[in-house]
Structure 1
Amino acid sequence: MSVTARPAVLVPRQAPGGVPLLGHGLAMQRRRLALLERLQRLDDGLVALRLGPERMLMATDHQLVRELLVQRADDFGPSPQYRLMEPVTGQGLLLSEGAFHRRQRRLIRPAFRHTRVRHYAAHMTELARTWTDGLGDGRTVAVDEEFGHLATSLVVRSLFTQGVTEEEAASVVEAMTDVMAWVGARGSDPLPFLAKLPTRVNRRFARAAHTLHTLVDAVIAHRHGLGERAPDDLLTWLLGTTDAETGERMSDRQVHDEVMTLLTAGAETTSRTLSWCLYLLARHPEAEERLHAEVDAVLAGQAAGFDDLPRLPYTRRVLTETMRLYPSGYLLSRAALRDTRLGPYAVPAGTTVLFSPYALHRDPRLFAAPDRFLPDRWLPERAAEVTPAAYLPFGLGQHGCLGERFAWTEMSIVLATLAARWRLRPLTTAAVAPTPLFSLSCGRLPMRAHRRGAGA
């Protein structure tokens, strides 16, 4: 009688380069992106590293990352990196888990179907047109700030087409700036007690969070009073949608948390991606010329609409390549809820597992010429140059971004509308070094707007 041997369970080896006491903590603080790329080049697939006293694991094999996010998803929950968002998002999709999380995804997913995103796109087009109308030839634009404001405004108008005044919408934009500054500071800070000190960033965050929570509660209460007169926007959808399996609706508290989650997630990815996109186009004039040729042929100087997007394939490839080089979520993590494993490796309960889309996207084993900006690498005939399974700008599995279609639509409309009328140039030729905060920032990135087309 033969006995089938059980596959060996391996203990991830310690990654090289740590120092006494601090381990990899100093490198993670000072040279984070270089460290992530160096770890990515290791052949283990899963390696251990120490950040001070804490031991973490990093998955560098994209197949193990997919196992973490899909096959083993129920064995992992939010890591401490994401728990810091709880004062903002509560138990929204970012932090909820298990059966409750699955129910929330069932309830919210239809709000981002094709027909619904087409509906939201009308607001995106109008806001993109208004923003580009206000640029002005020769005006200096702090790109990251401008796109942060624009992206927040786009989400606000998709959520609340009524019940929020222009002044209140502006207060949301300002408050989100302070919230994300706090998130960025905390996301790069290994000492959580600093979040409780009365620093300027912490005080501004407290005021901003109070503004947002108060406004969202007020809008929800107002919306209940409208009955059948409620507008057809994302908030009305969240309040009215019913779980087909249980017949239940979301509580007002849960709607509040999901609105806060959508505000936070919706603004950050879009603003970061568009900022990096303009930077890359300015450094690659041949790609910018092709983008301009495409939008000139399709839009003829007008704002892009939802129905224009299928005719803007190069615009899509430019954004795809931008998110390969500079994914907003450059370092993601999950924490083991129980003893489990990834591939042949043991993962003890409580262990945080990191993975880096930034490092994966720059791995030469997965993407040819990984440091080059090549939008055409995403053409079907060049499929051998990319590993689609390792491309993860929106995550994957049951914790992947539900608003991915919304984000693609938003970014495409804004980029095409801008490119149809304007060319933006950095004020300096110096290369921009990415700043790894909670997301991947390019800083303020001042650029000067130059009008395109007749009369330019």
Structure 2
Amino acid sequence: MTATRTYRLGTAPGGIPFLGNALQIFRNPLTFLPDLRHRGDLVRLKLGRETVYMAVTHDVVQEVLHNPRVFDKGGEFIEKMRLLLGDGVGTCSATTHKRQRRFIQPAFQKAKLERYSTVMQERVGELVDSWHDGQRIDVGTELSKLTARVTAQAMFSSDIGAEAIAEVQRCFPVVWKGIYRRMILPVPLMHSAPTKSNKAYHEALAGLERVISEMVAAYRADPRKDRDDILSILLSAKDEETGEGLTDEGVRDELMTILAAGVETPASGLTWAFYLLGQNPDVERELLEEVDEVLGGRTAGFDDVASLPYTTRVATEALRMYPPVWFITRRTTQDTTLAGHPIPGGTSILFSPYALHRDPDLFHDPNEFIPDRWLPENVRKLPKNAPIMFSGGSRKCLGDVLANHEMTIALASIVARYRLRPVPGHTIRPVAKAELTTGPLPMTVEGRG
């Protein structure tokens, strides 16, 4: 890469003693990070006392993604995510990733995707049946309930019960918030103090642990072979070389990883999609035309996805503009170079899908909601691997196809029955924590009968 082009090394502005640029990222990340492209292709920042580097432009981000043994999972975001996810496939090191991926890969085969899509079809049908014309809902809350139920049923073939699902829904936002604080403000004393927020974080993490451990124990005590779910796949998986299976801790880590990805990512993406549809009536009109022609008011299923290309493009464009995983970190395993510049071993490397997706050198009119930018003829004009909403390289998310299917099925099924109308006077401010969310998004349910 660096043999044909010189890449700029810059320094982020506005650092302050002791915290460096941490407060800028914490308070205003969605402006601060995209603006760093004016500083360089690779930009030096300070997080606390640590010097870190942000890969800003497409080529430099790809260099990080396609050298996973040098730019390994690590840095503040990953290290704090390990508080929740342990050593699962999303956070493990490059040296064990291939082994971890083999354990969980069978859960994402095509036949399994069909089953999970059927679960989404059933659960979204129940959701829209529970709404009525004129009802005001918080879209994010409703869709988080939906994806929590879908993910739970995919993980556990038997219903884990309303209490357990409610515990997951209650705990996840609190844990995400706590992890983000620990990532951006790396001051250990701040997070060990007996404050209300720290207490809530530890209680929420314990709640998630309890749900997982109880289900693993129940399955180990009753190892039936007829369960068709992710937990059974993990418990029966064996290492190809040693013949050993996952420990309870290993199963717990993978289930936590699936919960994190399966609950928050599609719920956040769908919430943004409905917000954007409310702001773009021409897009909504075209979406409704396709959905009405294909579904005629019924709930979508797995076989309908291929007939809903515009719906899929709407979902993809929502993920481009507001990728749930908006901020990612790596750590160098040795002295190396990045964008032609020397980087010491043990250095944190940052990159932001949100910032990259707002780069006008990569996407034309990047702040505009344009689903047709994902038409095949337009995708071919983009640099290879331009969208990174599911990361990239060998560490690309295993559940990307599943997330796209679930979002298409849910989006189509909801708009087949209802339009979600913005509440007059309500404005949103994107909330960039461990996931990029809309914050509260009240909308009015309008029946299309």
**TM-score, structure 2 as length reference:** 0.93
Inter-CA distance 193–299: structure 2 relative to 1 (3 Å threshold)? farther
Q: In structure 2, what is the Cα distance between the partners aligned to 1:150 and 1:360?
A: 30
Match of 1:34 among 10, 31, 50: 31
User: Would the aligned equivalents of 1:9 and 1:345 in 2 still touch at CA under 8 Å?
Assistant: no
RMSD: 2.4
- Find 2:254's aligned residue among 232, 254, 258: 258
Match of 1:90 in 2: 86
Instruction: Quote how far apart the aligned CAs of 1:375 are.
Output: 0.3
Equivalent pair of 2:77/2:180 in contact (CA under 8 Å)? no
Preserved CA contact (<8 Å) 2:9 2:341? no
**Is residue 2:446 matched to residue 1:447?**
no
Is 351-360 or 193-202 further displaced after alignment? 193-202
**Partner Cα separation in structure 1 for residue 297 and residue 180 of structure 2:** 37
Match for 2:216 among 201, 212, 220?
A: 220
Q: C-alpha displacement at 1:408, in angstroms?
A: 1.2
Which amino acid in the other structure matches residue 41 of structure 1?
H
Residue number among 353, 356, 359 corresponding to 1:360 in the alignment: 356
Mapping 1:15-414, distance limit 5 Å: 15-19=11-15, 21=17, 23-42=20-39, 44-162=40-158, 164-383=160-379, 386-414=382-410
Closer/same/farther in 2, CA of residues 99 and 55 from structure 1, 3 Å limit: closer
**Code of the aligned partner of 1:79:** G
> Matched residue of 2:224: which SS?
helix
Whole-Å Cα distance in 2 between the matches of residues 322 and 11 of structure 1?
30
Deviations 1:307-330 (A, max 9, x none): 110000001100111111111111
Q: Judge conservation of contact 1:230–1:236 (CA < 8 Å) in 2.
A: no
Distance (whole Å) between structure 2 residues aligned to residue 10 and residue 375 of structure 1: 34
Amino acid at match of 1:34: T
Q: Which range moved further: 382-391 or 203-212?
A: 382-391
Paired residues of 2:55 and 2:350 also in contact (CA < 8 A) = yes
Three-state SS of the structure 1 residue aligned to 2:66 is: helix
Work out whether residues 7 and 339 of structure 2, in 8 Å CA contact, stay in contact via their aligned partners in 1: no
What amino acid does structure 1 have at the position aligned with 2:145? H
Distance in 1, matches of 2:336 and 2:345, equals 7
Q: Quote how far apart the aligned CAs of 1:142 are.
A: 1.1
- Residue 85 of structure 1 aligns to a residue whose secondary structure is helix
Change (3 A) 1:192 1:436: farther
Alignment deviations for residues 209-256 of structure 1 (CA, whole Å, 9 cap, x no partner):
222212212211211233334411111111112233443321222011
Work out whether 1:433 is the aligned partner of 2:429. yes
CA displacement 1:346-381 (0-9 Å, x = unmatched): 111121111111111111111111111110111123
Distance in 2 (CA, whole Å) between partners of 1:18 and 1:130 is 50
Match of 1:3 in 2: none
Cα distance in 2 for partners of 1:163, 1:424 equals 29
| Distance of aligned partners of 1:356 and 1:155 in 2 relative to their CA distance in 1, 3 Å threshold | same
Structure 2: 5+ residue stretches without partners: none
* Structure 2 CA distance for partners of 1:257 and 1:384, relative to 1, 3 Å: closer
Distance 1:168 1:16 in 2: 44
3-state secondary structure, aligned to 1:390 = coil
* CA distance in 2 between partners of 1:155 and 1:410 (Å): 11
Structure 1 stretch 127-136 or stretch 204-213: which is displaced more?
204-213
Structure 1 ranges of 4+ moved more than 4 A: 6-12
- CA gap of 1:224–1:23, structure 2 versus 1, over 3 A, is closer
- Whether contact under 8 Å (1:321, 1:374) holds in the other structure is yes
Please say which of residues 31-40 and 429-438 is displaced more in the overlay. Answer: 429-438
**One-letter identity of the residue aligned with 1:247:** G
Contact 1:11 1:346 in 2 (8 A): no
Task: Please tell me the residue identity of whatever aligns with 2:97.
Answer: H
> Cα–Cα, structure 1 residues 303 and 350, in superposed 2: closer, same or farther, change >3 Å?
same
Q: 344-353 vs 182-191, which deviates more?
A: 182-191
Deviation at 1:414?
A: 1.1
Total equivalences in the alignment: 447
Whether the 8 Å contact between 1:140 and 1:446 is mirrored in structure 2 is: yes
| Conservation of the 8 A alpha-carbon contact between 1:8 and 1:344 | no
Kindly provide the amino acid, as one letter, of the partner of residue 434 in structure 2: F
Amino acid at match of 1:36: L
How do 1:2-17 and structure 2 match up within 5 A?
13-17=9-13
Relative to structure 2, which stretch is displaced further, 318-327 or 188-197? 188-197
Cα distance in structure 2, aligned partners of 1:359 and 1:87: 26
Task: Find the residue that maps to 1:389 and give its secondary structure.
Answer: coil
How far does residue 289 in structure 1 lie from its aligned partner after superposition? Answer: 1.0
- Counterpart Cα distance in 2 of 1:170 and 1:284: 33
- Using the TM superposition, give the Cα deviation of residue 98 of structure 1 relative to its aligned residue in structure 2, in angstroms: 3.1
- Give the TM-score, by structure 1 length: 0.91
